Amino acid sequence: MRTSVLRSVAEAALRNRSSSSSSHLLRRCYSSESAPERKVAILGAAGGIGQPLALLMKLNPLVSKLSLYDIAGTPGVAADVSHINTRSEVAGFMGEDQLGQALEGSDIVIIPAGVPRKPGMTRDDLFNINAGIVKSLCTAIAKYCPNALVNMISNPVNSTVPIAAEVFKKAGTYDEKKLFGVTTLDVVRAKTFYAGKAKVPVSEVNVPVVGGHAGITILPLFSQATPKSNLADDEIAALTKRTQDGGTEVVEAKAGKGSATLSMAYAGAVFADACLKGLNGVPDVVECSFVQSNVTELTFFASKVRLGKNGVEEVLGLGPLSDYEKQGLESLKPELKASIEKGIKFASAN
């Protein structure tokens, strides 16, 4: 009761954001004690990404219930994480019989379930195994928590997101505002690499990354990076390539032991936090994500997205592009289009 009254007042304050009391009210309204109940489920929670992501979500005061699901290993991960003295109650679920229980009542479902790359593989080489995993998990989401926001991490994201959309369409639960391909790691990398090259504080850096999440479909827009810098064209080209190959850099360094897990868990936690803030009515929450889109002729595309109480509030445009970026945009379209179509075809046929 007290919380809902507080929230109405805070929302009124939001409408008049110059009010000196508004920031105080909002702080109270969205602080951990009064934040609304939010259940977050992680599918693939015992994996390389799933475990550190479970840790990071346990540290998030906006989460009240943390549901950890995998086909094996979740009781141990859940017992371990549950001892941390933060707000959320943790429950572990293992095996398909428990998937419904894991999902029921979820506000956000994060999916890092599936196999990772080994050196020499592309993300698309994961399609044959991961497409089926994502399809069956999304079928369960449509049944048990059709209104949840879905944060898709499993690769190839350029195809797994269209697969999820088709599964939800077939089930009659598709809401394009609620399905997200997580491309935050591309942004995290672009920020880190840009800060290093431009010699600016990394905490102040912003770089949009658009397109998709594989090789040349990852298009960082360094012309829009802030703080501004005077990097030469060849430096921008090298930064772009390093961002596009960031995943492969980690795969090769891990030499057969998987792909990015820790940086991905961080990126997944940043994106889920943004979704939670959006759901809770925090204004001006903007992150890049691979979503259903009209920004280009492609039906799914990553760009900046404003997050709100229903998920996507607004898909933002690309802004001004340099000639180099315009070229990159045209070059990525055929590959991204083919990956989207591959996902749709798989989901329609199976």
Ligand X SMILES: NC(=O)C1=CN([C@@H]2O[C@H](COP(=O)(O)OP(=O)(O)OC[C@H]3O[C@@H](n4cnc5c(N)ncnc54)[C@H](O)[C@@H]3O)[C@@H](O)[C@H]2O)C=CC1
Is the Cα torsion angle 44, 176, 275, 205 positive or negative in sign? positive
Of these residues, 213, 242, 337, 342, which one is catalytic?
213
Q: How far is the CB of 19 from ligand X (least distance, A)?
A: 39
Report the nearest approach of ligand X to the CB of residue 152 (Å): 7
- B/e letters for 252-288, b = 16+ CB within 10 Å, e = fewer, are eebeeebbbbebbbbbbbbbbbbbbbbbbbbeebbbb
Q: Which of 185, 219, 291, 344 touches ligand X by CB under 6 A?
A: 185
Among 91, 133, 190, 251, binds ligand OAA (CB under 6 A): 251
Structure tokens at 253: 């360094």
Name which position in 39, 58, 191, 213 contacts ligand X (CB under 6 A).
213
Positions in 247-286 near ligand X (CB under 6 A): 258-261, 264
Q: Is-catalytic flag, 213? A: yes
The site for ligand OAA, by CB under 6 A, has a size of 12
Q: Cβ 136 to ligand X, closest distance in Å?
A: 6
User: Residue 59 and residue 134: Cα distance in Å, rounded?
Assistant: 27
The residues facing 188 across adjacent strands are: none
Instruction: Establish if 260 lies at the interface with ligand OAA (CB under 6 A).
Output: yes
Residue 167 corresponds to which tokens in the numbers above?
């599964």
CA angle 263, 267, 271 (to 5 degrees): 170
Per-residue interface string for the shown chain with ligand OAA, residues 134-173, x marking contact by CB under 6 A: ---------------------x------------------
Type of residue at 34 = S
For ligand OAA, the binding residues in 173-192 under the rule CB under 6 A are 185
Neighbours of 86 (CB within 10 A): 14
| Region near ligand X per CB under 6 A, out of 48-56, 192-200, 224-232, 314-322 | 48-56
Residue 280's binding partner, choosing from ligand OAA, ligand X, none, with beta-carbon cut-off 5 to 8 A by kind?
none
State which residue, 25 or 275, has the beta carbon closest to ligand X.
275
Alpha-carbon dihedral angle through residues 237, 247, 270, 217, given to the nearest 10 degrees: 50
Q: Which of residues 114-133 bind ligand OAA (CB under 6 A)?
A: 116-117, 123
- State how far the alpha carbon of 139 is from the alpha carbons of 134, 145, 170, 347, in Å: 8, 10, 9, 11
Cβ distance to ligand OAA smaller for residue 155 or 292? 155
CA 209 to chain centre: 13
- Minimum CB separation of residue 267 from ligand OAA in Å reads 9
Residue among 180, 139, 144 at smallest CA distance from 161: 180
> At residue 87, what are phi and psi to the nearest 5 degrees?
-55, -45
Report how far apart, in Å, the C-alpha atoms of 22 and of each of 9, 25, 164 are. 9, 5, 39
Instruction: Cite the active site residues.
Output: 213
Query: Interface residues with ligand X (CB under 6 A)?
Result: 43-44, 46-50, 70-72, 112-117, 126, 130, 133, 137, 153-155, 157, 182, 185, 213, 258-261, 264
